[in-house]
Structure 1
C-alpha cells in the first residue's frame, strides 16, 4: 500500500495553485459573487489551460491523484466553480443521450448542490448508491447567502437486472463523488491555517506577537493535527478507489466524517484567533469560511454522515490504516 501522491501529481497541484493565484486568487471569488453569471468565464479558461478536462480519474490511478491535487488547489483559493464535481463525471449517458458534464452526490429528500448558473448536464448519485440525473433549478438567493447552492430536481435511473446501474458503478460514483470534494475542503483547511499563522505572527498583544502565547500555540497545534489527519485519510481513500477496494465507499464516508469534524475545529480556531476581523470582507478567511459551507453541509452533515457510515459498517467496523490483523485484508 502506497498512499503518497506521485511527484507528478504534486507538481500538477502546485502549478494549478500558482495559476489560480496569478489569475486573481481571492479576487476570482469576489468577482463571481458580484457577477454570478460570469463565473464560468472567470474560471473555465484557467482550468482548460491546465488541461483539467483531459484527466480521466476513473481510468488511471495517476490521473486520479492529479485530479485530487487539482481539487485541493481549487479549495485553497475557494475557486467559485465545482471542480471536484466536474472531475467526478461518469460515462453513463442521461435519458436524453447526453454525456454528463459532472457528478454530484445528493440527498434524495432535499437535493441541493453548488451548481447554480452553470448550465451543464449533471449525473447524480444518492448516499445509498442509486444513480440518476438532476436538473438545476433557479434560486432567488444571491451567492452571498447560497454560496452558489441551488435546489435540484432528482430523477433516478430505472434499474434493471444485469445493468451497470444496479452494480458497482453506482458505488464507484458514490466513492469518487464523496472523496474528491473532500480534497477541495482539505485545500480550504490548508488556506485557513496559512491565513491564521500569518495573522498571529504579525498581530501583537501586550507588546508580543500572538504566536508567542502558549494558548495560541496549543490552538494552532490542535487544528494542524486535525488537518494532517484528514490529509492522511484523503490519500488512503484515494488509494482505495484506485485499488478497487470493496470498502471504498466506507473509506469515503470515514474521510468525509473526519473532514467535517476537522473543518469545525480548524475554522473555529481560525475565527477565534482572527477575532472580529475574521468575519469582515477585508479578510480572506471570511470568504473562505462562507464558501466552505456547501461542502460541509451537502449532501449530508456530520451527524447524518456518521449514521450512514455506522449502518454500512455495522458491527464489523472499518478496515484500513489502523485495523487489527483480522480486519487488515486489502489494506
Structure 2
C-alpha cells in the first residue's frame, strides 16, 4: 500500500498554486464576495486553463491524485469556488458537479453558478439539484444556498466516498495556510521584548495544531487510496476522514485565531477570509456530531479497518479517537 501522491501530482498541485497566485491569489475570494455574480468568470477560467475539468478522479491513479492536489491548492488560497464538487461530478449523468447533502435541508456552497448539479445523500440517493435563489450576502452565507431535489436513482454509493474525500483535501489546504500564516505572525510580533514564537505556551499550542494538520494529511492520503482501489470500506474511510478533518479544523482555526488576536477577525488578515470560507466545508453535509454519529452507526462494533485500524468489540467512539491518534 503506497498512499503517497506521485511526484507528477505534487508538481501539478504546485503549478496550480502558482497559477492561482498569478490570477490574483487572496484577492480572488475578496473580489468574489464583493461581486458575487463574477465568481464564475473570475475563477473557473484559471482552472480550465490548467485542464482541471478534464481530470477524471474516477479514472487512473494519476488523475485522482492530481485532483486531490488541485483541491489542496485551491484551499490554500481560499478560493470561493466549488472545485472539489466539480471534480467529483458523476460519470454517468449529465452534470457539472456533485454535492453530498444531508437528508434534511439539503444545501451547498453553489449559489449563483449557472451549472448543472447532482446531489447525493449518504445512502446513495442521487437527485438533480437546483440551487434556490438567495439574497443572502456571501459574507454571512459563504455562497451556501438550499437545493431543490428531483430524485434520479439510488446508484450513488460510489459517488458518496469521492464526494466526501475531495472537499477534505480542500480543507487540508486551508489548514496548511492557516498554520503558515500563524507561524509567520508569531515570528514577527513581539511581547515582553521577544518574539511571540519564543513563548513556550504558544509553542505548545502551535505544536498541537500542527499535529492535527499533519495527522489529517496522512488520513487524507489513505482515504484517497481507499477510494482509488474501490475498497468495500471506502465510505467508512471517507467518513472517518471527514470526522478527522472537522476536528483538525476546529483545533487549527482556534489556535490560529488565538495567536493572531483581534486582527485575525479583520478583513486585513488573510486568516479571516480562510476561516469564513472554511465554514461550508466544516458544516456540510454534516457537522462534527452528526458525522461522528453516521460513522458510528455504519461501522457498528467491528470498528474501522486498514490504516485507521480498530479492534473488534470495543466502543466505536473511543476506537475512532485512538485510531486517529495512532496515525500521527
So what's the TM-score if we normalise by structure 2?
0.93
- Whether 2:175 is the aligned partner of 1:180: answer no
Residues in 2 aligned to 1:212 and 1:34: alpha-carbon distance in whole angstroms: 39
Per the TM alignment, residue 133 of structure 1 is displaced from its structure 2 partner at its CA by 1.6
Change in Cα spacing, 1:46 to 1:158, as seen in structure 2 (3 Å) is closer
State the partner residue of 2:139.
144
Residues in 2 aligned to 1:12 and 1:133: alpha-carbon distance in whole angstroms: 32
Gaps of 5+ in 1: 94-98, 160-164
2:102 to 76, 92, 107: 107
Residues in 2 aligned to 1:189 and 1:156: alpha-carbon distance in whole angstroms: 35
1:124 to 98, 104, 119: 119
> Could you report, residue by residue, the CA deviation over 1:17-37 in whole angstroms, capped at 9, with x for unpaired residues?
111111111100000000010
Partner SS, residue 111 of structure 2 = coil
Per the TM alignment, residue 45 of structure 1 is displaced from its structure 2 partner at its CA by 1.3
Question: What are the equivalent positions in structure 2 for 1:74-223 lying under 5 Å apart?
Answer: 74-93=74-93, 99-158=94-153, 165=155, 170-223=156-209
State the partner residue of 1:8.
8
Residues in 2 aligned to 1:238 and 1:52: alpha-carbon distance in whole angstroms: 18
Partner SS, residue 105 of structure 2 = coil
Is the CA contact 1:108–1:154 (under 8 Å) kept in the aligned structure 2? no
State the partner residue of 1:96.
none
Residues in 2 aligned to 1:64 and 1:258: alpha-carbon distance in whole angstroms: 21
Partner SS, residue 95 of structure 2 = coil
> Could you report, residue by residue, the CA deviation over 1:66-100 in whole angstroms, capped at 9, with x for unpaired residues?
0000000000001111000000001233xxxxx10
Runs of 4+ in 1 over 2 A off after TM superposition: 322-327
Residues in 1 aligned to 2:262 and 2:59: alpha-carbon distance in whole angstroms: 47
Gaps of 5+ in 2: 314-328
2:237 to 251, 272, 280: 251
How many residue pairs match? The answer is: 313
State the partner residue of 2:228.
242
Aligned-residue Cα RMSD (Å) equals 1.3
Residues in 1 aligned to 2:308 and 2:41: alpha-carbon distance in whole angstroms: 45
Is the CA contact 1:223–1:269 (under 8 Å) kept in the aligned structure 2? yes
Change in Cα spacing, 1:275 to 1:46, as seen in structure 2 (3 Å) is same
Partner SS, residue 153 of structure 1 = strand
Is the CA contact 1:53–1:87 (under 8 Å) kept in the aligned structure 2? yes
